[in-house]
Structure 1
Amino acid sequence: MAASTPHPEADTDSVQAGPISLGIDIGGTKIEGVAIDGDKRLLACHRIPTRKGNQAVHDDTVTLIHHLLDPVGLNRGPVTVGLGIPGRVDANHGIVDDAVNLGIRHMALGPAVAKTTGLPVRVENDVNIAALGAASQADNTLIAPGTTPHSEAARDQARRSASEPGRDGPRALPDQGDHVVAFINLGTGLAAGIIREGRIEHGASGAIGEIGHISVDAHQFPCKCGQCGCLETVASGAAVETLWPGIAHPLPDLIAQASKGNQHAKEVQDIIGHGIALAVQIVALAIDPAVIILGGGMSKTGQPLLDLVTEHLNKSAACSHFIASLRLPDRLRLAPADLPIAAIGAALAGRMDADSRPSELIGKEIAS
């Protein structure tokens, strides 16, 4: 297997001795990892195909750790590891249950990798680490509504700014450490990650952010969880594939066809747009975050997705002064498509976990 290569923006020669944080995002089709330094600069990226089963996931994770460390060396300081994986995760003990797409029913992933490598390992749910990675990005990295000059969102924003003196467009990420950021993962399913004061919120049972299984949609489509009307059935990649089938990239095609006047496309687009906007409202009213970031596979649609969600949020605001006063479109951001935010978030989670441990537990060299 080829060795890892430095990230295009990395300058490993200029990196001073200091901690190295490795982050690995274990997905259904690929395992992607990054190495970052103490200043959160990307030093290396590497990815390998995913193999299923407990042993394969363990072995491939360890292999990726070795590849990530190869180009940056081991003489720069302590090394920490963060892992992100789908399924139910006991982050305190590094245990994963029901990672179905990986063929894992139960696995003590964190302890196993830590034992093999001799490094401290933190394991988190994949949506949570994506949330942490997205929240860590500077505001100019995240895409805000209206950034495309000719988009409908831009025109609406210009009209609002002209009619409401003193407003200066979309809000920036707050500089204070006590703000809350919500990340809505629009992937095959629908879930949210909550970052408070720079740290992942877990809740009492780890189910925080599972908004996809709130049964609120009037269409009452059946959900795999056993309920009907779950938000996931109208606001996820799987929902678009079901309602607009037979297309390799259904959401961009759906939006394009609707713009051309296809009536059925318009109807489906309204269902999806309303569903995602409803997800945004639920997160906003339950958590009241300063910023709401849209990520996951659907977010690669880009500005047209932001325009669609903004349109439906504005519809709700038009008939409710209360909803209008929340200025939800101003809080929206789109996760950058060109950054491995989940792997970056995993690295940050591993580092923060290590920072809370006694110094003698921080790994300084990898086990052979």
Structure 2
Amino acid sequence: MSENTMNNLKIGVDVGGTKIEAVLVDAMGTVLGSARIPARHGNDAVIEDIVAVAHQAAGERFDEVRAIGVGTPGTVDSASGHVGNIVNLDVVSLDMGPLVSQRSGVPAHVENDVNAAAVGAATVLGGADGMAGTIAFLNFGTGLAAGIVENGVLMHGYSGAAGEIGHIPVEPHRLKCPCGQYGCLETVCSGASVGRLWPNADPPMPDLIRRAKKREAEAVDVLDMVVRAIGDTIQILAQSVDPRLIVLGGGMAKTGEPLVEVITAELRRRESQCRFLETLDLPARLRLAPVDQPVGAIGAAMAA
């Protein structure tokens, strides 16, 4: 590996609703430095904080940085760097990429946060070039969406909507979605929707699983509703892009192995009725997102 490649340093910034995290990585995606600060609201504060945390992560090596990648919630145009509607940070419209580049003096690239996490997961699992084949990162956060990486390259689709699986309106309870449709998968199996369906605990999913295992009737009914929607989500994702791995991420995935167990049970139930699904062996493709590495920030850097 050439010295030039070894010195190909990038910064990745993961913008969240409460914190902004940055990492300095080398060409292999190895984290060399990191920093985290609380998130502030408003356009100017968000740009200032991204640049500030990038400087903190890089320290004295900032002058060696070739690019800054940013992963952010909201509606992202990755070609122009424009971001709209970061609700939790009071951002309606922001030319994030150009402004970060202008204020930092470093070229900047912006991706949707789920897409960035998908690249990060593929990097952590497979190295700098990502894992061979198609990797899907299924994010159970405030919403429900997938990031899809094929041989290390993000799939955006024609309009950037690739992976917006949460807004497929097939959930039979037909709950109203903020997007305007009824029955979106996101209305039942996103992290936020599970919190609404099971407001008895925080976090809700571990408590819901525990109580369902005790055969508490209400918990059994709610968990069945949630897990069937997760099963539909995974099946739609698997039968449309046929990923090698489906990485479960987002706040709800912090439930850990108990979540994998209930999802696996649902997928095995479906397999028992369908030879086609049995041949796909979807449970074998499930992985939990690495919890010991900042995959969102790493992916933002590697996508830059």
Report the TM-score, using the length of structure 1 for normalisation.
0.78
2:147 alignment counterpart: 193
Does residue 106 of structure 2 align to residue 119 of structure 1? Answer: yes
1:95 alignment counterpart: 82
Distance 1:263 1:184 in 2: 29
What RMSD over aligned residues (CA atoms) do the two structures have, in Å? 1.8
* Residue identity opposite 2:53 in structure 1: L
TM superposition outliers: structure 1 runs of 4+ over 6 Å: none
Does residue 287 of structure 2 align to residue 298 of structure 1? Answer: no
Question: Are the aligned partners of 1:79 and 1:119 in contact in 2 as well (CA < 8 Å)?
Answer: yes
Q: Secondary structure at the match of 1:25?
A: strand
1:105 alignment counterpart: 92
1:338 CA displacement = 2.0
1:82 CA displacement = 0.2
Deviations 1:232-259 (A, max 9, x none): 1111111211111131111000111111
1:61 CA displacement = 0.7
* Residue identity opposite 1:292 in structure 2: I
* Residue identity opposite 1:233 in structure 2: T
Distance 1:176 1:230 in 2: 31
1:97 CA displacement = 1.4
1:317 CA displacement = 0.7
Q: Measured at CA, do residues 87 and 325 of structure 1 come closer, stay the same or move farther in structure 2, by a change above 3 Å?
A: same
Deviations 1:143-164 (A, max 9, x none): xxxxxxxxxxxxxxxxxxxxxx
Distance 2:42 2:186 in 1: 27
* Residue identity opposite 2:287 in structure 1: R
Does residue 26 of structure 2 align to residue 37 of structure 1? Answer: yes
Aligned length: 299
Question: Are the aligned partners of 1:82 and 1:346 in contact in 2 as well (CA < 8 Å)?
Answer: yes
* Residue identity opposite 2:175 in structure 1: F
Structure 2 unmatched ranges of 5 or more: none
Work out which of the residue numbers 161, 164, 167 in structure 2 matches 1:213. Answer: 167
Q: Measured at CA, do residues 177 and 126 of structure 1 come closer, stay the same or move farther in structure 2, by a change above 3 Å?
A: closer
Question: Are the aligned partners of 1:88 and 1:206 in contact in 2 as well (CA < 8 Å)?
Answer: no
* Residue identity opposite 1:327 in structure 2: D
1:219 CA displacement = 1.1
Distance 2:227 2:144 in 1: 14
Q: Secondary structure at the match of 1:309?
A: helix
Question: Are the aligned partners of 2:122 and 2:130 in contact in 1 as well (CA < 8 Å)?
Answer: no
1:177 CA displacement = 6.4
Question: Are the aligned partners of 2:14 and 2:22 in contact in 1 as well (CA < 8 Å)?
Answer: yes
1:38 CA displacement = 2.5
Structure 1 unmatched ranges of 5 or more: 1-15, 140-172, 351-368
The structure in which a higher percent of residues are helix is 2
Bigger Rg, structure 1 or 2: 1
* Residue identity opposite 1:18 in structure 2: N
Deviations 1:127-157 (A, max 9, x none): 1001110111237xxxxxxxxxxxxxxxxxx
1:178 CA displacement = 5.1
Which of 218-227 and 123-132 deviates more? 218-227
Work out which of the residue numbers 182, 196, 207 in structure 2 matches 1:242. Answer: 196
2:35 alignment counterpart: 46
* Residue identity opposite 2:107 in structure 1: P
Deviations 1:270-303 (A, max 9, x none): 1111111111001001111111111000110000
Q: Measured at CA, do residues 60 and 176 of structure 1 come closer, stay the same or move farther in structure 2, by a change above 3 Å?
A: closer
Q: Measured at CA, do residues 68 and 323 of structure 1 come closer, stay the same or move farther in structure 2, by a change above 3 Å?
A: same
Identity %: 46
Work out which of the residue numbers 28, 53, 62 in structure 1 matches 2:17. Answer: 28
Matches within 5 A, 1:43-192: 43-70=32-59, 73-74=61-62, 77-138=64-125, 179-192=133-146
Matches within 5 A, 1:182-331: 182-331=136-285
Q: Secondary structure at the match of 1:89?
A: strand
